[in-house]
Amino acid sequence: MKNKINHSIPAFLVALLVVFTACSDEFLKEKQDYSKVSEVVYNTYAGAQSRINDIYYRCHPLAAQAMSYQYPSSGIADDYSKCTEEYGGLSKFVDNGTIISNENIDDFFYNEAKASTSPYGFIRNCNDVIWGVTNGSLPEDQKKTLLGQVYFWRAWIYFRLVKLYGGVPIIETPQLPVIGESAANLIIPRSSTKQCIDFICKDLTTASEYLPGAWDENNWGRITSGAALALKGRVTLTYASPLFNRADNTQRWDSAYAVNKKAYETLETNGFGLAYASDPGVNAKGWAKMFAETKSPEAVMVTLYNNSELAQSLAPEFWNSWERSIRPYNTIMSGGGMTPTAQMVDMFPMSNGSRALDVNGAPINGYDPNIFFKNRDPRFYRTFGFPGVEWKFSGTPDPNLKPPYSQGTNYALWNYSWYTTTDDQTNEGKSGYGTDGLADSYRGMYIRKRSDDYGVNTNSLYIFSTSRGFSQSAAPYMEIRFAEVLLNFAESACGAGHGQEALDALRKIRMRVGYTGTCGLDDALASDRGALFGAILFERQIELAYEGKRFDDVRRWLLWDGGTRFGEVSGAPASWNLTGFNGNTCSYIGVLPLNGQRRNNMEVRVSNASIDGKAGIYSVAADSVLKTKRPAALNLNVDFKTDTLPMFKMENFYRYNLTRKNRTADESGKTIQFNPTYYFFGLKSSAQKNNSTLLQNIGWLDSQKGSMGTFDPLAE
């Protein structure tokens, strides 16, 4: 029987959503209480908790979501991930042929000024609940448990605004206009970034003091004291990073270090930690398994899903669409898959922890880009799908699909490609004809990260059907997991001058997936601050790949240009120039700027020498012959270091029959070009129209004044 996992929102909430949601006519000019409930609701724990459950429902991150005013990126190819190495395709932020202004910039600030669709609507709801619980008649201990959750979510919303815009209006009480009160009193100007950071940290400190370190079984997934401290760690780390800390102020690093250390210690005390740290399994099996477990110790901030049937009782279906998105389409009725860049495939370390590429992208340490799967970091095998690897699932596919698999437990990915002309074989703009029924959705390589793989988890959290594929999945989504908390600690420790602690934390991350000894991390890193920062950011790329974190890391560290182009931002003062980090973050940590780079996709095609030297041109007969030459697909639960034969056979199959082709993922003739003005988002004109006190950010047009913005996100 399949698990029926309940989302952390109780079933009865669905019937109350209409009651709890209303609209506002104008930004911050509320005519009535959003919730439309009597104040007496806060006099019972269940009533007050139902209001808080509504906040969870609206604010919880989702598992396969593009970044928006409501949600952070969570791993898909949105406009933000496509600014990084993870996905190709020039998004509007890195395409110099696209002009972004205050008229067409994404709006994360104002939106429609409704409780259900506006950040300040969410804040309004939080303030209402804080007021209601505080003034209600519940015992103090119950009030604190309730308030701690709301303080967390208010801080969560504010932080999402502040990290994009800098300072924003701080509103900490519900605005309830009374007869005769001037509407002008309801319009709040922007606070400084520092004031906002202090406000957010205060909320999170309160939340950490009010909340339990762990909840009981029935409330697992709610925010804990450790989760509040982990978010505070994110906040302080962001404020210490070069985006906000151009002079490399040591006090900010010290603060981030203290907060992140307390976060991971608090979490460990309450049973959280690196999942499977003492039992990594083969090829990071434990690491892969934690993404398909409902109560992993790794899950610090988690969104729970279910696999309930459509309209089953009062509990609505709440399905995680990630598995469906990443699986190939024609063969198993899925979403078509997601395509990683060749840069990401090549980036992962070798099995001994050494780099596969030098800073200029050339292979080193024995790495062969044509046999890209040999001797790689254990996480490589659980992050990518490639030709010749098992990717089993629980279910019986449609026998009419190609290739016909009698059971998903027999499934292997054989996604090499054929071509019909020799010219297309070398054309970087052309993709091949996918084998095994993948012709219509050929991706070359696939993202496998966070898969509920039957080879890892035989009690799968999805219910596979030939009509829905993998849609009906209850796999949880971890927005903050313990590995990130440890990486946040490592980075802040490095910044604060505690190099050995930072290095020790990095080694813990690698030991969890099976590394031993020094884990490929030289002891000398502890005394080289710039190189250690580089190692930490590199580890974040590998450990947190396709979890929606890379855009924030690139932005925090100004990695599109190293922070050398702020003189091009209209109106930017001298204080915007990077005086810390040797004046260039890229050279300081030892990476190339992303600007000027072009990303590729990667495919594995039939080589010219294959099938009796017939140039790898497709025919039914040639396809049949090559299929007879295939070795057994790689079983990732085999240790390739001790059982070398499976890898040896696959390597030979590749050498004699297949070759790698890089296809351009970005528009021909173009490279990544990120405008330094975009490091801080501008307010969309609609936001300024609804609040006359809102000043525009430097570098963006102020629609009220008709001149360039004057608000400085770096000013304290």
In the prediction, which pLDDT does 187 show? 81
In the prediction, which pLDDT does 312 show? 57
The pair phi, psi for residue 481, each rounded to 5°, is: -120, 165
Least confident of 8-22, 40-54, 367-381, 546-560: 8-22
C-beta pairs of 571-575 under 8 Å, 24+ apart in sequence: 571/698, 571/699, 571/708, 571/709, 571/710, 572/698, 572/699, 573/698, 573/712, 575/246, 575/712, 575/714, 575/715
In the prediction, which pLDDT does 34 show? 39
Summarize the confidence of residues 261-265 as an average pLDDT: 98
3-class DSSP state of 172: coil
Summarize the confidence of residues 480-508 as an average pLDDT: 98
Q: Which two tokens stand for residue 443?
A: 């991706």
The DSSP H or E segment spanning 384 is: strand 384-385
Q: Are 671 and 595 in contact (CB under 8 A)?
A: yes
pLDDT band at 397 (very low <50, low <70, confident <90, very high): confident
Summarize the confidence of residues 642-666 as an average pLDDT: 96
Q: Tell me the average pLDDT of the chain.
A: 90
pLDDT digit string, tens, across residues 160-178: 999 999 999 999 988 654 4
Least confident of 19-33, 38-52, 300-314: 19-33
Query: Quick one: which of 339, 615, 578, 321 has its CA closest to 469?
Result: 321
More confident residue, 434 or 390: 390
Indicate if the pLDDT at residue 4 is higher than 70.
no
Summarize the confidence of residues 505-513 as an average pLDDT: 98
Q: Are 47 and 521 in contact (CB under 8 A)?
A: no
CA distances from 561 to 243, 303, 584 (A): 12, 35, 8
Distance, in Å, from the CA atom of 174 to the CA atom of 154, rounded to the nearest integer, reads: 12
The pair phi, psi for residue 462, each rounded to 5°, is: -105, 160
> CA Rg, the chain, in Å?
26
Distance, in Å, from the CA atom of 401 to the CA atom of 403, rounded to the nearest integer, reads: 6
In the prediction, which pLDDT does 310 show? 74
pLDDT band at 112 (very low <50, low <70, confident <90, very high): low
In the prediction, which pLDDT does 439 show? 61
Looking at the chain, the number of H-run helices and the number of E-run strands are: 22, 12
Question: Diameter of the chain by CA atoms?
Answer: 90
Distance, in Å, from the CA atom of 310 to the CA atom of 318, rounded to the nearest integer, reads: 9
Q: For the chain, list the domains and their CATH numbers.
A: 1-69+107-211 (1.25.40.890), 322-473+600-664 (no CATH)
Summarize the confidence of residues 60-87 as an average pLDDT: 95
In the prediction, which pLDDT does 643 show? 96
In the prediction, which pLDDT does 587 show? 98
Indicate if the pLDDT at residue 181 is higher than 50.
no
pLDDT band at 111 (very low <50, low <70, confident <90, very high): confident
The DSSP H or E segment spanning 605 is: strand 600-606
pLDDT digit string, tens, across residues 514-531: 999 999 999 999 999 999
In the prediction, which pLDDT does 16 show? 32
In the prediction, which pLDDT does 13 show? 35
Greatest mean pLDDT among 14-28, 456-470, 554-568 lies in: 554-568
Least confident of 20-29, 128-137, 201-210: 20-29
pTM as predicted: 0.93
In the prediction, which pLDDT does 692 show? 84
In the prediction, which pLDDT does 335 show? 83
pLDDT band at 689 (very low <50, low <70, confident <90, very high): confident
- Bridge partners of 701, per DSSP, are 708
**447 Cα distance to chain centroid:** 14
Q: Are 633 and 386 in contact (CB under 8 A)?
A: no
Summarize the confidence of residues 700-705 as an average pLDDT: 95
pLDDT band at 215 (very low <50, low <70, confident <90, very high): very high
- Bridge partners of 462, per DSSP, are 473
Distance, in Å, from the CA atom of 146 to the CA atom of 210, rounded to the nearest integer, reads: 8
Query: Quick one: which of 586, 581, 524 has its CA closest to 559?
Result: 586
Distance, in Å, from the CA atom of 308 to the CA atom of 316, rounded to the nearest integer, reads: 7
pLDDT band at 549 (very low <50, low <70, confident <90, very high): very high
Place of tokens 């139902």: 50
Write the CB contacts of 248 (distance below 8 Å, at least 6 apart in sequence): 242, 579, 580, 581
Q: Are 29 and 444 in contact (CB under 8 A)?
A: no
Greatest mean pLDDT among 336-340, 392-396, 706-710 lies in: 706-710
